[in-house]
A = this chain, B = another copy of it.
């Protein structure tokens, strides 16, 4: 190859933040999407896919502050010079859809959506630029009953995803109460409000002490990095800390505490009353305090929320590579967004929704033990002039429902065995001249072989006995392989 050709060769490399997803991950995500979609479906939601692109002005700017402000999306100019961007969630495009089709859709409008969303953020570990979300939304619903339903759906979705009772919790708060308490504390400047919300959001991570610092002068982390504080005075901080620590074991008790909190504003009091109604309906739906709880420290980053907000937390513990006990934390969330459709229409269209971060939840599930994908049975190719025969053997297995392939590379027997091993094949089928003459096939049960190998120490014994390997008539091949692979 000439130098010229080498220079022309593109480098085989992948844009950052978009990992190649292999079979086990894809299967795990698919399983989650299917089981969560089934829940949404059963609750009366219909599927809708609004497509990848929206006009930038239709998407709006509701992403939480990122490292790169005024950014956060993948945008490009269409050939008519208009700016379009990949959706960053399923909610903003839904609002566009509802506004565009208002006169044609049934109201309330209930839809679910499962598919990728894209965020143009700095990639990092477990921080991808594409991830799958699975959402349910009700548009044209005003009362807390619709929010209660969303919370119940969130709990059911978590269980459908494989989280047992006690392994998840749906935490609920209210933007109205948050607004009320900030008003009471005298936080009115929009920038300061943002800083306060970001500080409160860290309660789970840094506790009272950390949040107190973040609400005040700022906080220095272990590496010495300083996070600028919200700059509140001590008495303001007290009001907020009393508020975010109001969480009790039962929803009813938390509502009572919040109702009795000093200086609650009118809209804050309304938010508390709504939580009371939500509690009643959740109880009717058998959603206990162990499944959904009221937590005044829950914020949710997206800026379009206007009422109750919820967060689904996955509590199951796992050990990281260093043996530390870890939790994934938030794997979904949602809330009421009464202004999003009104952006387009001018008239109010109250709405509420919930979204499961499927990619994140799949990663969390995988962290507690990933399953290996079972490979195909491999029919070895020993005589090139017998390809049609080998192809028929593999075809017979597939017709019986067994995953099977004929080896298609150009290597000899040993690399073919190695290939079967790398593919995690349960068995191989061998037909050489000897077998052909006798009308038999040799089957190697690779699982049985591997199990036997563990208990054997003498290499010679291994060679002579060949555990898991046997001959059988061709007519019995399918039945024997079905027995090995567990296909019925």
Contacts and interface: CB of A to CB of B under 8 A. Distances in A.
A31 to B, nearest CB: 12
Most buried by B among A14, A48, A343, A404: A14
A363 interface: no
Contacts of A398: 42-43
A130 interface: yes
Interface of A is mostly: mixed
Most buried by B among A280, A392, A395, A422: A395
A78 interface: yes
B51 A408 contact: no
Interface stretch (A104-112, A199-207, A455-463): A104-112
10 contacts: A9-B344, A11-B58, A12-B97, A12-B99, A14-B96, A15-B82, A43-B405, A46-B375, A108-B408, A149-B406
Given A43-B398, A403-B42, A20 B5 contact: no
Most buried by B among A52, A373, A392: A52
A41 B375 CA distance: 9
Contacts of A249: none
A50 B422 contact: no
A480 interface: no
A325 interface: no
A186 interface: no
Nearest to A344: B12
Give the 4 A-B CB pairs with smallest separation, nearest first.
Answer: A44-B405, A44-B376, A284-B388, A12-B99
Interface string A356-393: 00000000000000000101101000000001110110
A155 to B, nearest CB: 12
A120 B76 CA distance: 12
Interface in A1-47: 1, 5-6, 9-16, 18-23, 26-27, 41-44, 46-47
Given A281-B388, A392-B284, A51 B18 contact: yes
Contact of A285 (B75, B285, B391): B391
A60 interface: yes
Interface stretch (A136-144, A239-247, A257-265, A292-300): A136-144
A345 to B, nearest CB: 8
Contacts of A404: 42-44
Given A42-B403, A108-B408, A395-B285, A47 B19 contact: no
A48 B68 contact: no
A20 B44 contact: no
Contacts of A475: none
A344 B5 CA distance: 10
A26 B408 CA distance: 35
A107 B419 contact: yes
Given A12-B99, A51-B14, A79-B68, A110 B58 contact: no
Contacts of A23: 46-48
A141 B408 contact: yes
A73 to B, nearest CB: 10
Interface in A74-126: 74-76, 78-79, 82, 84, 96-97, 99-101, 106-108, 110, 116, 118, 120
Nearest to A405: B44
Interface of A: 1, 5-6, 9-16, 18-23, 26-27, 41-44, 46-55, 57-58, 60, 68, 74-76, 78-79, 82, 84, 96-97, 99-101, 106-108, 110, 116, 118, 120, 130, 138, 140-143, 145-146, 148-149, 152, 280-281, 283-286, 343-346, 373, 375-376, 378, 387-389, 391-392, 395, 398, 401-410, 419, 422-423
Contact of A51 (B21, B47, B283, B345): B21
Contacts of A140: 408-409
Contact of A47 (B27, B100, B286): B27
A9 B346 contact: yes
A6 B395 contact: no
Contact of A145 (B82, B286, B408): B408
A89 B280 CA distance: 51
B51 A403 contact: no
B15 A55 contact: yes
Contacts of A106: 419, 422-423
Given A10-B344, A12-B96, 5 more contacts: A11-B55, A15-B51, A44-B403, A46-B375, A106-B419
Nearest to A50: B20
Given A74-B76, A373-B46, A376-B44, A58 B10 contact: yes
